Amino acid sequence: QKTFIGDQVLRITVNNEEQLALVSSLQEQEHLNIDFWLEPSKPLLPIDIQVPREHVQSVKALLEFNGVSYSTLIEDLQALMDEEEKEMVLSHHKER
């Protein structure tokens, strides 16, 4: 089973077409293995990306270098999934 330990979800806000193109180009860099949760569309609309742990620092550095603002929505994706699984297990054992 695939795990997501240390994967982060970043919310990116681009201010202009140039920044939009930069973030869109991350889709083509397959080695980064970035999963776009909300696709790039137009400036000021949020873009959410799931970044594997090993690329978190480099992606953040790239955004910062280019003046693209972002925030971290999910610090550790696996921690949320563990919570989700715990809830499902609890629910199975709950008396109806």
Partner 1 sequence: NSQTFNYASYHTLDEIYTWMDSFVASSSGLVSKLQIGTTFENRPIYVLRFSTGGVNRPAIWINFGIHAREWISPATSLWFANKLVSEYGKDSSVSSLLNTMDLYLEIVTNPDGYSFTHTNNRMWRKTRSNHAGTSCKGVDPNRNFDANFGGPGASGNACSSTYYGPYVNSEKEVKAIVDFVTNHGNFKSFIDVHSYSQLLMFPYGYTSTKPKDYNELMELSKKSITALASVHGTKYRYGPILTTIYQSSGSSIDWAYDQGIKYAFCFELRDTGRYGFILPANQIIATAEETYVGLMEILDHVRLNPY
By CB under 8 A, name the one of 32, 56, 62, 81 that touches partner 1: 81
Q: Of 65 and 96, which CB lies nearer to partner 1 in the complex structure?
A: 96
* Binding track, positions 7-26, relative to partner 1; x by CB under 8 A: --x-x---------------
**Does 31 engage in binding with partner 1 (CB under 8 A)?**
no
Residues 70, 26 contacting (CB under 8 angstroms)? no
Residues 23, 68 contacting (CB under 8 angstroms)? yes
Reading the block at residue 52, the tokens are 């594997």
Nearest-angstrom CA–CA distance, 5 and 36: 18
Residues 5, 51 contacting (CB under 8 angstroms)? no
Contacts with partner 1, residue ranges (CB under 8 A): 1-2, 4, 9, 11, 27, 30, 35-42, 45-46, 48, 50, 73-74, 77, 80-81, 83-84, 87-88, 91, 94, 96
